[in-house]
Structure formats: C-alpha cells, structure tokens
Structure 1
Amino acid sequence: MIGVHASENWVPCTTRNLIADGKLAIGDGYRAKNSELSGEGLPFARAGNINSGFHFVDADRFPVKEIAKVGDKVSQPGDVVFTSKGTVGRLALVRLTTPRFVYSPQLCYWRSLNQEAIDSRWLYFWMHGSEFGYQVAGLKGQTDMADYVSLSDQRNMEISLPPIAEQRAIASVLGALDDKIEQNRRTALALEKLAQAIFRAWFVDFEPVKAKAAGATRFPSMPQPVFDALPTCFVDSDIGPVPEGWEVKALANAATFLNGLALQKYPPRGDDDDLPVIKIAQLRKGSTDGADLANGDVPEQYVIGDGDLLFSWSGTLEAAFWFGGKGALNQHLFKVASDEHPSWLCLLWVQQHLPWFRTIAAGKATTMGHIKRGHLMEAQVVTAMPKVLQAADAIIGPVYDLYAQTMLESRKLAQMRDYLLPKLLSGQIRVRDAERKAATVP
C-alpha cells in the first residue's frame, strides 16, 4: 500500500513504473576483480567510503583507461547513493563538486533520468523519509545473513510523487540547510589543513629554527621576540636532530589516553538520563543518530562532551574533536587530554603518527586491526620551548575555535533539517512555514 502523502495531488507510484517510463534508473555496482584495481584512477567506492558524505582517501582505484568496462556504474551529479549490503541505509548525494567514482556492489544508485518528473535533490530527501525507511526496514532482514536490500526489491518500491514544482520547493528549503552544512564542512577542512601546515612547519620540520640557523632574521607568522629566542643549532635525539633545548618525549607521556568502557554493563533504562553510546561509527560521522544507549550510571570521566578529543585505536583509526553532543565513551576509543598541552597540539601529535598506527593495525592477523599502549610509548613527539608553544597557541588556538563554531553550527542546521524533513514530506508543514522556521537558525 502506498504511504501517506501530503495532498491529493501527490501521485502514488512504484519505482518499477518510473523505471519503465524512463524517468528513473536504479543500479548497483561493478563487480571488480582485485587484479582490476590499482593505486591510480577513479575511487572504487565501497560502503565504508559513504558516511555523512564521501571519504575516498583510503579507497582503492579503478584505472581510467579501463572505465569502459564499468558502463553506467560510474557516478553522475545528482545520483543518490544507497548502501544496500551490510551497513544498510547510508545515503549520500553526488554533487557537482564530488569526484567521479566507480560504484562497488555494496552500493546502489538512484538516478533521475527526467528532472521534469523527479528532482534529484528531492529524491535524496525522500530517501531520508519514513516512506522509504519503512520499506527498507521491512526488506533488509529477510535472510539469516547480513542485512541486504536487493536490486529487485529496490525496483519494486512505492513512492509518493509530488508535482515537480512542489518537489523543487521542498528540495530548496532542505537543500539550503544542506548546502550550508556542506559549506561548513569545506570550511572546517580548510581550517584543519591550515593548522596542520603550521604545526608541521614549526614542530615537525622545524622551519623557523632552520631559517634562523641559515641567517634569516624573521619567520612569517612567528612573533619577532619568539623568533629571536629560538636556538640556532640542533642536537641528536632518538628521532634525529631536534632544536637545542626542545624536548623529545613519548606520546603516551604527553597526554592521557582514557580507554572507553564495555557499555553493555550499563543497559539503558528508557529515562531522560540515558546517554548515546559513542563508538567508532559515531566518531566517523560526528553524530549519535541511531546510536545505542547506556544508562546514566556511567562514571563521569567516561561521559563525553563537545570539544573532547577522541581517538579510535581499533578498526578504523581516526582522531578528531567531538561535536556530536553528550554521550558515553565506548571501548576501542580513547579520550585524549592533557593538563600541560593545548588539546589542538594533542590532536596534531596523534594525527602525525596516524599513518604509522594504521600500518600497525593493518598488519594484525585479527579481523579488527588495532594498536596497543606500547605503540603510544614508541611514538615520539617534540615539545618546544614555552615561548614557541605560547606563540603557536595564539595562532592555532583561534583556528580551532573557529572550527568548533563551524561544527556546532552545522549540528544546529542538521537538527533543523531533520526536524523539517518528515513534516514537509508528510504535509504537516507548508513550504512557506518551513522557510520561516529554517531562517531562525543562527
């Protein structure tokens, strides 16, 4: 039975009929052999690369010269990507700015073939709604194996289709919020890159000290009194030459690494004190949407808040500031903190060693690679003289303050989008009212 639609002029359809009419295409990915993949070419996108957007840094590549083999299974702007195997239900919209990629069999694409019949962005938001969600929930667990929604099932779904003008109006309201979130994501990424560049120049490559040793009288962005106080020579250390007077220490001694709890011991009670459980998946997407719950008896030191630094040491190794709201720290995650050093420095130290940590984890014979505390002792970091640290904090600290503001704004925008989406798709609220509501987000 077709789901509830907003008004009488919303047309009940099936994806089968839309496909037959040439208005919609639903396809799956290319079944590539390992020998077909390489280190260069278009990203070969799997479910793990789809999580609140696209993440292709570690993706395999499909050679461009072989792309004819793939046919239609290459992304196009406007595609709605749906993870159909294993972790079912992740969605992403292919934007004009999204790099072209090849779909793997873990992914399906929904592609409007007629923008006068189906607006691509409206389709993306519809797939976030209850009509699509209920159908997926009823289909994905049909076998005893991992969750799976087959291509034939997707091609036989029901969809309530508004007139194109109404589709575009709904997409415009929700899309404006989504566009701002995407703009904030790009801003946050640029801020991170700026901070990383300054950190590497000052604390890894020691460029200011090298410049002074070579006869320079100043260094860009470094206050003159700080530059004047820099040493002009290097001394040997376990990690090679470091500036005289600077200290080399183990990462484990530069900050505290609090491991999370096995939170099954704190089952939820269904009251207001329950906390969302922050696992690796929540860290990766920066949100607790759909998270498990734990009761409010979780010890205070394991309760996470905005701005805390988290580091997943198992599975997918990541380090990031958390801005997904209050939650409980699960095992396989460290909360990283220091009374001596600013949190941004701890983050950049961990990120400095992430490539090595990931290599260690990848070499494990277990199903979930990981590192041990001993590796935190082996990882060495350099701490500069206090004047240099203070100068760096005066520059990099505000960068991460702006980063935090950007991330918190995005959370408010996402909350407003998620509030309006079901109401617009069910007709509980009109587009004009939604526009006024959206305008209240600071």
Structure 2
Amino acid sequence: MAFDIRETAFKLPENWKLVRLGDIAKVNEKSLTKKSQPDFIRYIDISSVSTGAFDTPKLLKKDEIPSRAKRILRNNDFIISTVRPNLKQFSFIEEAQENLIASTGFCVISSNNSKLAWYLYSLITSDLFTEYLVKIADGGAYPAFNPKEIEDAIIPLPDKDNLEFISDTSRFFHKKIQLNTQINQTLEQIVQALFKSWFVDFEPVRAKVQALSDGMSLEQAELAAMQAISGKTLEELTALSQTQPDRYAELAETAKAFPCEMVEVDGVDVPKGWEVKPLGDLISFVKGKKPKSVSPKQEENMLPHILTSSLEGKYNEFCESNKLVTIEYHNIIMLMDGSNSGRIAIGHNGVIGSTLAKINLDNNKLWAVIYQFLKHKEADIQANTTGTTIPHTDKNRVNNYLMVISDNFLLEKFTELFDNSLLKIISNRNQIISLETTRDLLLPRLLNGEINV
C-alpha cells in the first residue's frame, strides 16, 4: 500500500488538503527511446549523486549511451534514487542542461510550477517519506522501491501561503547546502592539484631543470619554479612583489626548496635528495571492530560510530570507545569491504566500524601527503579489489605503491596548507549537517500545525 499521511501521527492544519501525488505531479513522464536519442547526452547515474547534489554529468556520444539512460530531465524536476533509499541520493534540477538524462535507477518527479516542485522535493526527501521508502523497498543486496509508490502516495497539500513559505525555505536550504558542498569540492580539488603538481609530476623541479638546461641563471630558474607553483606569469609575479611582498617572499622561499635536478632512484625519476619508499614501509592497516552496542543518541562517554553511510559527516549511531579503534580528524581511514572498497576518507572523530580500517603511520608528519597520495590512487585501488561476491581492498597492492617523499620543509609547507583546507571543509560539512537538521525539523512542525504562516 502506498504512503498515506492519514496513517501517520500528524494532525494536519484545517486549511490543508489531501491529494494523490500523481494527480498534481508526473512521475517518470518522459523517457528517452532509441528513436529519440540525440547525438550526445549528459548522463547522471547513481554513482554520481550524493545527498542534494550531483557531480558533473558524463558527456556521452550517441554510440556510448547505456540502455539505462532513459529519464529525461527538465527545469524544476527532481530525482530520487529508487535503489537503497536509505542513502538518500536525490537532487533538484533547477535549470536542466541540454539533453540531461538520468539512469532508470532514479524516479523523476515533474511539476507544473517551481513552488509546487520545491514543496514536493522537501516532502519526498524528508525523513518522514524516505523512512517509508526504506521500509517498503524490496530486499536483497540492492533494495529498491517501485516508483508507483510515489505516484500513488496520499500527501498533504498546503494552502497558498504555506506552500509558498515551504517552497522558498526548501530552496534556501538547498542552495546554501549546495554552495557549501561546492566550496568543499573546490577546496579538495585545489589541494589534490597542488599535491599532484609538487609530489607526482614534480612541476616546480622540472621548471627549474628546463630553465637551467636553456642556459638561464639559478635566479631565473627559481622564478620559473615560482610560476609553476603559483600559476602566475612573470608580469603577475612582478606585480605581486610590489602589492604583496610577504606573499611573494613566501612563494620565493617555497620555490627555492625544490631541487634543481632529477635523478633515478630504483628505476624511478625523482627530484635529487628525495626518497622513494614502498607505501607498506610507511603505513599499517588497523581494522575496525563492531561495538557490542550502539545508541541513536550520543550519551556520556560515547563517540560517533563511523560507518560507510556516515563518511559524509552525518553520524546516526554512537558507542563507547573501550577496546575499539578510534580516530581523530587527521587520521586516514579506508573502506576495506563492500561495493565501495578502497574509498579513502579523513576529517572524522570517533570509532570506526568493522568494514573500515585506520591507516597507522610510522611517521605522523606524513599524514597529509599520504592521504593525498592514497586519494591520487583511489580509483586504481577501487578498480583492483579482491573477492568475487563481496569486494575487498587489496592491501598488498596498496603496500606496493611507490611513494616519493620530499624534504621536511616542503612536507611541512604542504601539511600546513592541507590542514587549513581540511579544517574549513569540516566546518562547512558541520554547517551542512546543521542546515539539514533544521530543514528536516521544519516540515513535521508545519504538518502538525505547530508553525503557522
């Protein structure tokens, strides 16, 4: 039987109506067919969607379009994953790009106007509705619900004033959460790009080597390294020396710390004076354990119980830490078992679950570069798991990766930069969770008539 608000404990305000959702909105209205396939599509699949947002859609040519690419998306549509609804994979499409198509793993809800769309979005993605979808989802490894359950749902429809208030509030929360999410993604991308430039591609070193081989002076070689580090032209660096002399001096000091020569170490070209070590010489895996008991609320002496579902920073379980594996925000954790094995995370404080492992370091000064190195290798780790029924992270493969280690000055410089970014990311993540909590409390109070507009 479909969702029916009358079967809940809510006492709706008198001026609200009861309607069948399918009578005021369309579910999976437009489908892509082989006849209607364009020359390209922008494709959204389940793997690219997290709570409230999706990554850049995959641009696919006509001969690359998978059979699951069916759901045509338009302005003010929103999508919710039919698979594993407990993961809350959904997003609102305010302005649909050309040929934006979602996988059949999504249910698409379309409305005639944006106010109604934002209201329905706030209702269907609320705990009230998703808990119902989780309850009725078919069992198995990937439980899923039938989109008809949404179409046949009996829901409350507010009067005009309440509809406008809920819609505007829902949009405000969505935009603020989306902005913080994008800021965090940008911060992560900047640090990852910096790590790759310094410690994988050795761009500042190669800039020096090239300048010296072209007959330039050491001073000119260091200017070339400054360009590689900052992405600025010589003219821009000259201007920086006048407008921000402290920033220029810091950049010059960093450039000077990079070697001027590449050498071969164990068959690998590396900056002179830097070390090459198998990752297994620097780390060890400490597998998490299952606590004897957990609580939905954090009580005294309890820490968050960190599971796969809480790697975005929202913790739904808490437990005592006695004889369990605890982590702090700069500790690296890796998912060892399950479909996302090999996923790397950082920025948590708590107790890790049995599918996760803490990465212990022989030298704690290396935490920032080792985390970024593992993120750089994350796709390779996830593509090369062991096991058939249940994937497992291949620890031997991880241990055999060769890692290049710089001198202490550059390690400390990079660690400081990453630490500052990580603390901002954690702060933004906490704000996202606070916004989600406030948003999720608002609708039930409106439904109960506790708040009047």
TM-score by length of 1: 0.78
Aligned to 2:119: 122
Match of 1:206 among 195, 202, 209: 202
Change (3 A) 1:77 1:260: farther
CA contact (8 A) 1:45 1:56 kept: no
1:321 and 2:346 aligned: yes
Aligned to 2:78: 80
Mapped partners of 2:258, 2:104: distance in 1: 56
Q: 1:163-208 CA distances to partner (integer Å, 9 max, x unpaired)?
A: 2331121232243233211101111111111111111111111111
CA contact (8 A) 1:277 1:328 kept: yes
Deviation at 1:138, TM superposition (A): 5.6
Aligned to 2:133: 136
The amino acid of 1:267's aligned partner reads S
Match of 2:293 among 259, 263, 267: 267
Aligned pairs for 1:377-392 (under 5 A) are 377-392=399-414
Mapped partners of 1:212, 1:295: distance in 2: 53
Mapped partners of 1:133, 1:378: distance in 2: 43
The amino acid of 1:286's aligned partner reads G
Mapped partners of 2:194, 2:262: distance in 1: 20
Identity %: 20
Aligned to 2:169: 173
Match of 1:244 among 261, 272, 275: 272
How many matched pairs?
Answer: 405
Q: 1:303-322 CA distances to partner (integer Å, 9 max, x unpaired)?
A: 34555432223331321223
Match of 1:192 among 180, 183, 188: 188
1:227 and 2:227 aligned: no
The amino acid of 1:78's aligned partner reads N
Mapped partners of 2:43, 2:151: distance in 1: 26
Deviation at 1:84, TM superposition (A): 2.4
Mapped partners of 1:365, 1:130: distance in 2: 35
- Specify every segment of 5 or more residues in structure 2 that has no aligned partner in the other structure, as ranges: 213-220, 231-249
Mapped partners of 2:256, 2:132: distance in 1: 67
Aligned to 2:243: none
Aligned pairs for 1:82-101 (under 5 A) are 82-87=80-85, 90-96=88-94, 101=100
CA contact (8 A) 2:43 2:69 kept: no
Aligned to 2:104: 105
Mapped partners of 2:412, 2:68: distance in 1: 54
The amino acid of 1:43's aligned partner reads Y
Aligned to 1:299: 323
The amino acid of 1:158's aligned partner reads I
Q: 1:233-282 CA distances to partner (integer Å, 9 max, x unpaired)?
A: 22212462101110111223334432212x1x613378836655422232
- SS in structure 2 at match of 1:109: strand
Mapped partners of 1:400, 1:130: distance in 2: 29
Deviation at 1:376, TM superposition (A): 2.3
TM-score by length of 2: 0.77
Aligned pairs for 1:391-410 (under 5 A) are 391-410=413-432
CA contact (8 A) 1:80 1:123 kept: no
Mapped partners of 1:28, 1:255: distance in 2: 52
Change (3 A) 1:127 1:203: same
Q: 1:329-349 CA distances to partner (integer Å, 9 max, x unpaired)?
A: 112322235443253322201
Q: 1:87-118 CA distances to partner (integer Å, 9 max, x unpaired)?
A: 46735232336766433333211211244xx6
1:253 and 2:281 aligned: yes
CA contact (8 A) 1:88 1:148 kept: no
CA contact (8 A) 1:231 1:243 kept: yes
Aligned to 1:309: 332
CA contact (8 A) 2:76 2:113 kept: no
CA contact (8 A) 1:32 1:104 kept: no
CA contact (8 A) 1:248 1:380 kept: yes
Change (3 A) 1:279 1:61: farther
Mapped partners of 1:87, 1:51: distance in 2: 12
Aligned to 1:412: 434
- Specify every segment of 5 or more residues in structure 1 that has no aligned partner in the other structure, as ranges: 432-442
Deviation at 1:357, TM superposition (A): 1.1
Mapped partners of 2:388, 2:336: distance in 1: 14
Aligned to 2:369: 345
CA contact (8 A) 2:41 2:59 kept: yes
Aligned to 2:16: 10
